[in-house]
A = this chain, B = another copy of it.
Amino acid sequence: MIGRFKLFSDPVHGFVSVPKDLILDLVQTPEVQRLRRIRQLGVGHMVFPGAEHSRFGHALGAMALMHDALASLGEKGTLLAGEDVQAALIAALLHDVGHGPFSHTLEHSLIAGIEHEDLSRALILRLNERFDGALSRALSIFDSECGTGLPPAWLHSLLSSQLDMDRLDYLRRDSYYTGVVEGRVGVGRIIRTLRVVHDDRLGRDRLVVEAKGRYAVENFLLSRRLMYWQVYLHKTVLSGDFLLRSIIGRVRDHLEGVLGQEAVDVAAGASTRFLFFLDNHFGPGDLTRNEVLSAFVDLDDTDIIFSLKAWSTARDPVLAHLCRRFLTRNFFRVSFLDEDDDVPPAGELRDRVAAWLRANGMIDSDRNVGHFLGTETTRHEAYSATRDGIGILRRDGQVEELADVAGSVMQPDTWSRKERTWVCCPKEALIAS
């Protein structure tokens, strides 16, 4: 009887109890253990030095919040069968298992045309085989598969929606580790105001928030927006992301043999697993190939850092320069076009970067300039009233979309969607005239 749970000491949620059954077995798999070697915020820790936490803690945390949400709903009369409780916990534990090294930074660089959710799904499928189908119900929740004999549809909302346990955990967690206290979301209050009610239009049960939780939800959405612009899309984070992708682009140039006299052997000293993904151009169709998945599971942040350290002394001055900059956090300067009005016009910028390359012993080809100069647009949508939405349960029993509640801040058409265009290049290229 003693010790049916393994306790993890989590600084964010206190102790997290993991049942010593299938769930602990899943925690022990290489698929989940590798999350210990993948930082939650990609290059974010280079801007917020405390934020060196990995995806492993987030996986446990999302599962812990799923447990709390089900307990709170249970207290209010929405009781689940034991197998659905387990399936929901598993789905929360594994929802992000498909993240690769540097999380979102490299999300589209290693395998083209997919999102991390696709990889999560592929890995859950693989685990389901290994565990003889024990993850099938979890997969149904993940896939939002409804119908007779399947878990209720609202479980998918707890897993993936505008107000899911994933978001609640990562905001609370990233706020804790970055020290950005404004991001501290009222997780307890939101979870305690969740309810499951029948939605006549949908003809099924639906997850909603009691009216008294409405300000907490608005606060959550605004805190999330703050975390995006202040942390996840911080100027220096964007710049670090750009630099890392430039390095990958440069390595691919080498692998594809398009560099002529500049070409060097990038394989020496680098991670073969990493090169496997750079050398091939995998796409959605490769997610069913066992060798690709196995290589992916073996890949983590250390492969990238290790390779960068190798390339930082490569004979190609462009590659070596890019890698050294990354390792010493000497990122490019980013200018937001809506904020900085001293950004030179595109042509002039290109000329400056080209001149700077020449002056530093690098060839000023278009390809090379492209590694040092970029223009991108970053988007964040704080809230959408259409895509699934957030239902508020009025005291009279009606469900209203959050945007329609009287006096709601969440006006989707005005400020909540935003994009910012930015330019980046080495600071030295701007200064040197």
Contact = CB atoms under 8 A, between A and B. Distances in A.
A199 interface: no
A181 interface: yes
Interface of A: 1-5, 7-12, 14-15, 17, 28, 30, 33, 36-37, 45-46, 48-50, 52-54, 56-57, 60, 75-77, 176-182, 184-186, 188-189, 192, 195, 211, 215-216, 218-220, 222-223, 225-226, 229-230, 269, 271-272, 298, 300-303, 305-306, 309, 327-330, 338-342, 394-396, 406-409, 411, 414-415, 418
B57 A50 contact: yes
Nearest to A176: B11
A11 B182 contact: no
Interface of A is mostly: mixed
Given A10-B49, A33-B327, A76 B2 contact: yes
Nearest to A380: B407
Given A215-B230, A408-B415, A341 B396 contact: yes
Contacts of A46: 36
A177 to B, nearest CB: 6
A158 B176 CA distance: 29
Given A5-B75, A10-B49, A30-B327, 11 more contacts: A1-B76, A2-B76, A2-B195, A11-B177, A17-B75, A36-B52, A49-B56, A180-B186, A181-B188, A182-B215, A211-B339
B415 A28 contact: no
A12 B50 contact: yes
Contacts of A395: 339-340
Nearest to A79: B1
A198 to B, nearest CB: 14
Copies of this protein in the complex: 4
A273 to B, nearest CB: 8
A184 B49 CA distance: 20
A267 B248 CA distance: 26
A9 B396 contact: no
Contacts of A1: 76-77
A229 B230 CA distance: 26
Contacts of A17: 75
B48 A9 contact: yes
Given A49-B10, A177-B11, A182 B216 contact: yes
A219 to B, nearest CB: 4
Contact of A36 (B49, B178, B195, B271): B49
Contacts of A10: 49-50, 179
B409 A222 contact: yes
Nearest to A342: B396
Contact of A406 (B189, B223, B338): B338
Contacts of A53: 50, 52
Contacts of A9: 48-50, 178-180
Contacts of A178: 9, 11
Contact of A60 (B15, B49, B408): B49
Nearest to A48: B9
